[in-house]
A and B are shown apart, each in its own frame.
Chain A
Amino acid sequence: MKNSNNAPRSNFLSNISKTTRSNFITYGIIIVVYVIMQILVNAGAVSNLIRGQLIPICVFATMAVSLNLCVGILGELSLGHAGFMSVGAFTGAVAIACMESAIPSPILRLILGMLIGAVFAAIAGVIIGIPVLKLNGDYLAIVTLAFGEIIRSIFTNVYVGLDSAGLHFSILNRIKAAEDGKMIINGAIGLTGIKPIATFFMAALLLLVTLIIVFNLINSKTGRAVMALRDNQIAAQSIGISIPKFKLMAFVISAAIAGAAGTMFAENYSTMLATKFDFNTSILILVFVVLGGLGNIRGSIIAAAVLTLLPELLRSVKDYRMLAYAIILIVVMIFKNSPSIQAKMALMRSKKTARKKTKKASIGKEA
């Protein structure tokens, strides 16, 4: 599944229409899959196990698209993307809890919460992005890893309480909300007392909106500048593309999307630990992106959906399921990336087609 961005630029008009068509196919797939799943859920044909995974799949697909923007389109490896998700989850959930009495509509609250989560994640993205994007390669990766760990470490020690006197906030010092209030973030226990308001519809909508944003970004002047920086930084700079501006822009957009996804994720559960957004989660999302293909947005979504379901589908092998997951991951990576295996596969494929051709030719002769 090649993204049409890689198509030759010879025919500009047809190229644009092809890209747009490909994007609309992706939107279409999301909508169709959503409708089918919704019908199946309503008909009761989906097991509880899979039904519980519907929102996480949408969230992780959104995360994968967001990280693909950072790794595939911008070309900077981030190992701390769960950090942005965490910022979004915690700030968004606090905002939603605060708005509970003011705004009765859960959908509106969720949307506002996601926006607030996205804004805070974007701020975190700016704070970390300005210094970090000066580094390159593995050093950038390690700083993003460090950032993710710092965020996890901080949110494990944050206490936020809400009562009639307003919002109480503290780091490290255990505080208690007054009798009439409740704790929203309770240190190591994490987010508590969330009333889950995330719905499959909203999660699918989030994914769709993310796709519209990302596709439009990629096919804009900004997106082309970002990709030019990825392909050859020096050449891009020499034609007047500002490195900090475009790198930061892509990085912050990616962080904001991750923040919104984080809020959605937190609102799907009644409690949420800060350790849920650790290095392993960042890596999990990176696995989706790499397996789906760098820069290939549709691939990311498919990989996220398949790999989120895979451990659930492997439940039949019980204790061995994570082992099986690891083996599948290694084998797929080797098969996809080893030049010698790829060459052998190509050889086999060409032999097969050659055989088919000779067969056809011989059939033709016989006739």
Chain B
Amino acid sequence: MKFLSNLINGISLGSVYAIIALGYTMVYGIARMLNFAHGDVIMVGAYICFFAIYSFNLNPVIGILMAVVVCTVLGVVIEKLAYKPLRQATSLAVLITAIGVSYFLQNMAQLLWSANPKVFPTIINGSIKLFGGELSISRTTIVIVLVCALIVVGLSIFVNHTKMGKAMRACSEDKEAAQLMGINVNKTISMTFAIGSALAAIAGVLMCCAYPNLQPTTGSMPGIKAFTAAVFGGIGSIPGAFIGGILLGVLEILGSAYISTELKDAIVFLALIIVLLVKPTGILGKKIHEKV
């Protein structure tokens, strides 16, 4: 029973990682950049929702919607201002700029909302008891897993069956060829950032529902972990990000329950190294053959 309970907690945490990882993987697949500011967009989303509920006494659903809208706009603005001028630059230059954006968001949050940790209000109450009360699953966990499943299915349909999704896939394979086919590459990239940031907002709110401690650095560690999850599953692949996220979450919770709480990060990252050594492009990653 203890194991089952841990497993469910792991899947819940993994679902949050998966939602963040989806944003990472989509941006990487299309813009070929490691968007290190993604983790901080999560934090901004959580703050917006927090203030909507706490200061303005709004309905949590409206709070989440506000977070999504603000983060979407933020994502598009960041892309336009910071990343678009560097479309032709080396990936390292874009990486450093992304780190600059990450610093910017963290320090802006610290100035606006102070560094004191805030306790995120409970949005979803109660829990479900199974097996005569031996196994209790909080409703938050169920909602997180359901939302994640919904997002993965929705995103897969969007990418595989809509015109915009087709454009995204085309851009991720070959930007120049896509442009020749009449696809607006800039618009597609902006769209990707918008979707990724909207997902980050949802992930931020869900994460703070499960772990209600909110401060300007809240997003950075989950950001790194989710990035790891995206690489774990094969970066650029949507099902890969989902599987990687869930696996990473389960591994982290089981590792801290059965091996050591203090070393949980080491366990997670060690698993990543092993996976990459066995399968250098991640679990579902495509192998790219080098042509001479």
User: B-facing mask of A315-333, CB < 8 A → 1, else 0?
Assistant: 0000110110111011001
Contact B276 A139 (CB under 8 A): yes
**Given A139-B280, A149-B224, A154-B266, A323-B104 contact (CB < 8 Å):** yes
Contact B272 A337 (CB under 8 A): no
Interface residue count on the A side (C-beta < 8 Å): 47
The bracket for how many chain B residues form the interface is: 35 or more
15 other A-B residue contacts (CB within 8 Å) besides A77-B95, A326-B103: A134-B280, A138-B235, A139-B231, A141-B34, A142-B276, A149-B266, A172-B260, A234-B290, A290-B93, A319-B110, A326-B100, A329-B100, A330-B104, A334-B86, A337-B90
Q: Which residue from chain B places its CB closest to the CB of A331 in the assembled complex?
A: B100
B136 at the binding interface (Cβ < 8 Å): no
**Given A146-B273, A234-B292, A153-B266 contact (CB < 8 Å):** yes
CA of A340 to CA of B280, assembled, Å: 36
Q: Closest CB of chain B to A17's CB: distance in Å?
A: 31
- A140-180: which residues lie under 8 A (CB-CB) from chain B? 141-143, 145-147, 149-150, 152-154, 156-157, 172
A-B contact pairs, 23 of them (CB 8 A): A77-B92, A77-B95, A139-B281, A143-B273, A147-B269, A149-B266, A152-B265, A157-B263, A172-B260, A279-B220, A290-B93, A319-B110, A320-B111, A322-B103, A323-B104, A323-B108, A326-B100, A330-B100, A333-B93, A337-B86, A337-B89, A338-B86, A341-B85
Residues of chain B with a CB closer than 8 A to A135's CB: 276-277, 280
Contact A146 B260 (CB under 8 A): no
Residues of chain B with a CB closer than 8 A to A333's CB: 86, 93, 96-97, 100
Residues of chain B with a CB closer than 8 A to A290's CB: 92-93, 96
**Given A142-B276, A323-B107, A334-B82, A329-B89 contact (CB < 8 Å):** no
Residues of chain B with a CB closer than 8 A to A283's CB: 99
Residues of chain B with a CB closer than 8 A to A156's CB: 262
Residues of chain B with a CB closer than 8 A to A71's CB: 92
Contact B96 A291 (CB under 8 A): yes
Residues of chain B with a CB closer than 8 A to A77's CB: 92, 95
Contact B280 A325 (CB under 8 A): no
Residues of chain A with a CB closer than 8 A to B273's CB: 131-132, 143, 146-147, 150
Contact B228 A142 (CB under 8 A): yes
A339 at the binding interface (Cβ < 8 Å): yes
User: B-facing mask of A109-145, CB < 8 A → 1, else 0?
Assistant: 0000000000000000000000110110011011101
Indicate which residue in A234, A279, A326, A341 contacts B224 across the interface (CB closer than 8 Å): A279
B88 at the binding interface (Cβ < 8 Å): yes
Q: Which residue from chain A places its CB closest to the CB of B89 in the assembled complex?
A: A337
A294 at the binding interface (Cβ < 8 Å): yes
User: A-facing mask of B91-134, CB < 8 A → 1, else 0?
Assistant: 11101110111011001101100000000000000000000000
The 3 A-B residue pairs whose C-beta atoms are closest, nearest first, are: A146-B269, A326-B103, A329-B100
Q: Which residue from chain A places its CB closest to the CB of B235 in the assembled complex?
A: A138
A286 at the binding interface (Cβ < 8 Å): yes
Indicate which residue in B103, B266, B269 contacts A325 across the interface (CB closer than 8 Å): B103
Contact A150 B265 (CB under 8 A): yes
